[in-house]
Structures are given as C-alpha cells and as structure tokens.
C-alpha cells in the first residue's frame, strides 16, 4: 500500500519523507487555507519534496472553468495530479484530462456507484471518504470493500485512494481489503509507529545498557 500525506505543511512532509513513508501528497482548499500560503507556491514546494503524485484541487464547479484551472495547476510540476469533485462536470473534466495523459484524482466519493463512474471516466485515483462516511452512520470500510470488488471484476486501472482516514484501524482495514493508497494526516502516520510494547522494550534495553557502563564509539 502506498502512503500519501494529507497536508500542505511542507515541514511535516519533509520530515516524514526521511522515513520513506511519503509516496505522494494530497491537498485541498481547506489544507491550503490552513497552511496560510499561496497555492502555487506551496504546491511547487511540495512537488519538490516527493516524486509521487501531488493532488492539487480545482475549485470551479463548471467543466470549462475546471479545465482552465487545471491548465494552470498542472504547469506547476510534472507530478501534479488534478483533483476534481465527483460531479458530472468533474467527470467531464476527468475524462478530458486523462485523455491527454494528466493524472486525475476524483474526490468526495461516498458510494460504489460513484466510484464506478469515476473509473469509467478514466480517473487515476478515486478518493472515497471513510471517516465522513462513518460520521454519517454508514460503514466506510464496506464502501472500500465494494469498490475493490467492482474494480477487480472489470480490471479497472483506477487506484483506490482511501481518504478521510481518522485512525490506525482505518489504515489496517484498508490494507486488509487491498486499497492501493491511504492518504493520512501526519499525526495518523505517526500513530502507526506507536505500540506500548515497543516503548517498554526500548525502556528495558536502555536500562540494561546503562548498567553495562559501556558506550558505542
């Protein structure tokens, strides 16, 4: 499974990249706002930090303007992936962009039927929102399971990019189902490292090492 970082915080991306945990980055208008930076500037900096796809989202709602915004965004770097909403106009834009070789991430997916439409439109990635799905009384993981089954049935190339991940359990279940990508806030990725027995083991080793009176180097 590939790990994408869901943030526009370049310091966090740079730090996590050193662990080998950054296969790409996803951003959205809310994350750009949180960063307090210009979208073009911060997206370019993010693209320089990873060779993987960096999702940059259009904000227009009509196809014609989406295409104009996409043209601006995809000039930032070769690894920019244009992010569009799962609407009729979003899928028109997806079809047009993927037809000329541009990566497209179709976002705000909440049903398997929507995911099927995105795959037929040629999406590079589909982003089902599991956390928001759970928040509204639905089973986010069942959605991922259904999309995986449908995509495998027809050998679609669209990658399942699990979004709105809230905790390590979402990551585990996504991996068990066979999702292609999990995009997570930095704190969720850091949470994957944590285990009480790892901490206790380190504590015990250090205590015993101190008792030897030795040092390395």
Q: What confidence tens digit (pLDDT) does each residue in 163-202 have?
A: 999 999 999 999 999 999 999 999 999 999 999 999 999 9
Q: How many CB atoms lie within 10 A of CB 93?
A: 28
| CATH no. for 2-212 | 3.20.20.70
Percent of the chain at pLDDT exceeding 70: 100
Catalytic-labelled residue, pool 2, 83, 92, 194: 83
| Residue numbers of the chain with a pLDDT score lower than 70 | none
Q: Catalytic site residue 194?
A: no
The pLDDT of residue 204: 97
The pLDDT of residue 45: 97
* Domain extent listing, the chain: 2-212
Cα–Cα distance list, 183 to 167, 204, 209 (Å):
11, 34, 39
The pLDDT of residue 217: 85
Tell me how many degrees the CA angle 135-140-142 measures, rounded to the nearest 5: 145
């Amino acid at each position: 499974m590939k790990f994408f970082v869901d943030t526009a915080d370049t310091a966090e991306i740079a730090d996590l990249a050193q662990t080998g945990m950054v296969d790409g980055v996803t951003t959205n208008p809310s994350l750009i706002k949180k960063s307090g930076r210009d979208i073009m500037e911060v997206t370019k900096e993010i693209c320089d930090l990873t060779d993987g796809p960096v999702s940059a989202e259009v904000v227009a709602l009509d196809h014609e303007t989406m295409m104009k915004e996409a043209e601006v965004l995809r000039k930032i770097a070769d690894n920019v992936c244009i992010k569009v909403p799962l609407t009729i106009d979003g899928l028109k834009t997806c079809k047009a962009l993927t037809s000329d070789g541009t990566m497209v991430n179709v976002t705000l997916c909440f049903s398997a039927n929507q995911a099927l439409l995105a795959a037929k439109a040629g999406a590079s990635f589909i982003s089902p929102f599991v956390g928001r799905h759970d928040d509204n009384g639905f089973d986010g993981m069942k959605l991922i399971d259904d999309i995986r089954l449908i995509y495998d049935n027809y050998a679609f190339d669209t990658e399942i990019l699990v979004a709105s991940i809230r905790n390590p359990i979402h990551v585990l279940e996504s991996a068990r189902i066979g999702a292609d990508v999990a995009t997570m806030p930095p704190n969720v990725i850091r949470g994957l490292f944590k285990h009480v027995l790892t901490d206790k083991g380190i504590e015990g080793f250090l205590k015993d090492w101190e008792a030897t009176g030795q040092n390395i180097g």
